[in-house]
Amino acid sequence: MTETTGWKNNARNHPFIASFSGGKDSVLALYKASQVGRAIGLIVMLEEEGKRSRSHGMPPELIQAQAVSIGLPVYTAAASWTEYEHVFIDLLKNARNQGAEVLVTGDLDMPQHGCWHDEVTKKVGLKLGMPLWEMNHRDAVDEFIHLGFVTIVVTVNLSLGMTEEDLGRILTLIISKSWKSVILTLAEKGENSIRQFWMDLFSDIPSRFVNVLLFEMGNMHFYH
């Protein structure tokens, strides 16, 4: 087995820390890795002001509620893009000192060479686990829904054919199949954000987090 093919299975029989955005891909990766390994915590990077997570712009209170509901500690820090790698590595070192042997991420499209997560885990002495690596985006969404996760759309890009009416909708197979593949691909990058709220994995998430307001930024419309 080459190092990169091991990415999909490196969490097996190992304690791991999961890079967590609260979006559908990080949730699915955490779920799949937890079936074969043991999660010891979540890493969440915040924007510089510390008020929202990077990628999906989620409030720390929601991520904390998700973590509490599954009994995992959160390793979190705020950082500018300039400081990002240094701060992320410090969090990895902390997780390693708590027993983590693998970093799990929800990436699907990482290249075999030049993968940033691969580089930083090597610096810390961890393995990289990407349970969704090279998975078809639509297949990932379908599996996510079939597993029983309930999630809502919180960001749409009108230039891709999505509409403001998509905001706040619960993601279903019918909605997923109506979207172009590019929408599902960009959702992984946070340009169309699909936020996880509940399943058995996340019990007792406070209902106040579902009450969100609309705001706009060009072609991007958001629930906030």
pLDDT at 174: 62
Residue 181 is which amino acid? S
Q: Which CATH architecture has domain 7-129?
A: 3-Layer(aba) Sandwich (3.40)
Cα separation, 83 vs 87, in Å, equals: 6
pLDDT digit string (tens) for 101-117?
Answer: 999 999 988 877 789 99
β-strand partners of 170: 152
Residue 193 — pLDDT band, cuts 50, 70, 90? very low
Considering 3-17, 74-88, 176-190, 205-219, the range whose residues carry the highest mean pLDDT is 74-88
pLDDT at 202 over 60: no
Q: Is the dihedral of CA 66, 180, 137, 175 positive or negative?
A: positive
What pLDDT score was predicted for residue 4? 59
Residue (of 115, 144, 142) closest to 130 by Cα position: 115
Can you give the pLDDT at residue 180? 56
pLDDT score for 15: 98
| Average pLDDT across the chain, whole number | 78
Domain ranges of the chain: 7-129, 137-223
**Range with the lowest mean pLDDT among 54-58, 114-118, 126-130, 206-210?**
206-210
Which 8-state DSSP code applies to residue 111? -
Average pLDDT over residues 116-130: 96
pLDDT in tens, 77-102: 999 999 999 999 999 999 999 999 99
**Of the spans 104-113, 147-156, 191-200, 205-214, which averages the highest pLDDT?**
104-113
Asked if the model's pLDDT at residue 200 lies above 90, the reply is: no
Give helix 24-36 / helix 181-188 axis angle, nearest 10°.
70
Q: How many other C-beta atoms are found inside a 10 Å radius of the C-beta of residue 139?
A: 12
Dist. CA 34–CA 104, nearest whole Å: 10
Task: Give the pLDDT score at 220.
Answer: 43
CA–CA dist 10, 224 (Å, integer): 35
Q: What is the pLDDT of residue 175?
A: 67
